[in-house]
Amino acid sequence: MRRVPLVCCGVLGLLLACGVPPDEGPPDSGPLDYSDAANWLCTPDAPGACPRSYPLRTVVADGTVTDSTVTHDAAHDVACFAVYPTVDLSLIAGLHDDTTDVVGPQGWARTSAAQLQEVCDVYVPIYRQVTLGTYLSPTPGEREQSLFDSAYGDVLAAFEVFLEREPERRFVLFGHSQGGQHLSRLIRERVETDPVVRERLLAAYPLGWPLATAVGSDVGGSFAEVPVCTDTFQTGCVVGLRTYVQGHARPNVPVAYAEGPEGICVDPASPNDPALLVPLAAFTIAASHDQHTPPAGTPTDALVVYPEAFEGACDGSGDDVGLGVRWVRDTEPPVDLGSLFVTGANGSHILDTQLVIADVLLDIGRRASR
């Protein structure tokens, strides 16, 4: 697998008309066996790609840089089930069947899922995700749908094993982009249909996917029963968002992937009033991220944190909604906020997780305190 940014590289609305032919590939042999530890990137007893300790470099507003080390314990009241985004950028429609090729998934686990260990014990399954090319048809047909079904089948099978291993604790669902897509379906088909499981849902964070409700409602669209989070301490609800840089267009919603008429945008920094412009807790990004210029001398395995460097607020109407963000420091941002990577049809999709994960951790902690 090629080296790619440690986030999904903009599957929605990207090159939708390029007409890449499908790759028929081998027939689906059913979901992976999640009783096999080899099919997990991270579990509480085998953190693997989610290191319990990693270097942290904090850059404050005046440019001062502080080095430290983050260390997490595996002793929380909450379990997290996390699903990584699209990291296979092949333009041929298909599944990433080589489950030993996990460089991209490991990168996401190391820099995103590992941070969840601050508030929960983390499970990250390997799954046969669809390639970027699977999204390139403006009207997915039977072939594309069968690929989505296979990828989702893996996620569902992993979730069933997760529930077996976690029969009592409250749980969080967390994912980005394709990961958010599969979690959206998982909530509809597995969580909402089982009252016992639904009762244990602390909150879900299917970030970077165009979740939606019925007009004027906190349900409908994506979910019939699990509502949008509208209160800081509410549980059993969903936080959804797609980010964009203020001054540029909000991320679009391709018709093929629309889930309802009114898009969901919840700012985890201000869930009670998502339209309020507030500081985001921190911009947290891997030193090795392809779009990031870290401070000189930063270890390649470090996370770099820029506290309250961005402000954000949800805006828009109908399905044209997004979490608009802006850099508020006098210094130049460490990523190019004018590049096509963050100003195109997908907004700042590749930075969704980096922009809000610090607030997601705070949000999970608040909800878990109830």
Count CB atoms within 10 A of the CB of residue 120.
27
pLDDT number for residue 80 = 98
Taking the C-alpha atoms of residue 52 and residue 322, their distance in angstroms, rounded to an integer, is: 33
Taking the C-alpha atoms of residue 259 and residue 59, their distance in angstroms, rounded to an integer, is: 39
Determine contact, residues 346/362, Cβ cutoff 8 Å.
no
pLDDT number for residue 39 = 98
pLDDT tens for each residue of 159-191: 999 999 999 999 999 999 999 999 999 999 999
Report the share of the chain in percent with pLDDT over 70.
92
Split at pLDDT 50, 70, 90, the class of 14 is very low
Q: What is the mean pLDDT of residues 198-206?
A: 98
pLDDT at 25 over 60: no
For the four alpha carbons of 132, 137, 140 and 146, in that order, the dihedral sign comes to: negative
pLDDT number for residue 188 = 98
| Mean pLDDT of the chain, nearest integer | 92
Nearest to 363 by CA among 278, 262, 259: 278
Nearest to 334 by CA among 286, 299, 301: 286
For the four alpha carbons of 333, 335, 336 and 339, in that order, the dihedral sign comes to: negative
Taking the C-alpha atoms of residue 174 and residue 280, their distance in angstroms, rounded to an integer, is: 19
What is the DSSP code (8-state) at residue 268? T
- Domains of the chain, residue spans: 37-368
pLDDT tens for each residue of 328-361: 999 999 999 999 989 999 999 999 999 999 999 9
pLDDT number for residue 138 = 77
Q: How far is CA 25 from the centre of its chain?
A: 28
Show the tokens assigned to 276: 């309020």
pLDDT at 9 over 90: no
Adjacent-strand bridge partners of 286: 303
Split at pLDDT 50, 70, 90, the class of 28 is low
User: Which residues are CB-contacts of 100 (< 8 A; sequence separation ≥ 6)?
Assistant: none
Question: Beta strands 121-125 and 212-213: pairing type?
Answer: unpaired
Q: Go through the chain and tell me how many residues it has.
A: 370
Report the share of the chain in percent with pLDDT over 90.
88
pLDDT number for residue 15 = 36
Backbone angles phi, psi at 273, to 5 degrees: -145, 75
Split at pLDDT 50, 70, 90, the class of 29 is confident
Q: What is the mean pLDDT of residues 295-312?
A: 96
pLDDT number for residue 140 = 84
pLDDT at 133 over 90: yes
Q: Which of 21-30, 120-129, 190-199 has the lowest mean pLDDT?
A: 21-30
Split at pLDDT 50, 70, 90, the class of 139 is confident
Split at pLDDT 50, 70, 90, the class of 26 is low
Q: What is the dihedral of CA 206, 207, 210, 212, to 10 degrees?
A: 60
pLDDT at 22 over 70: no
Nearest to 333 by CA among 69, 92, 128, 59: 59
Show the tokens assigned to 138: 């403006």
- Report pTM: 0.93
Q: How far is CA 262 from the centre of its chain?
A: 20
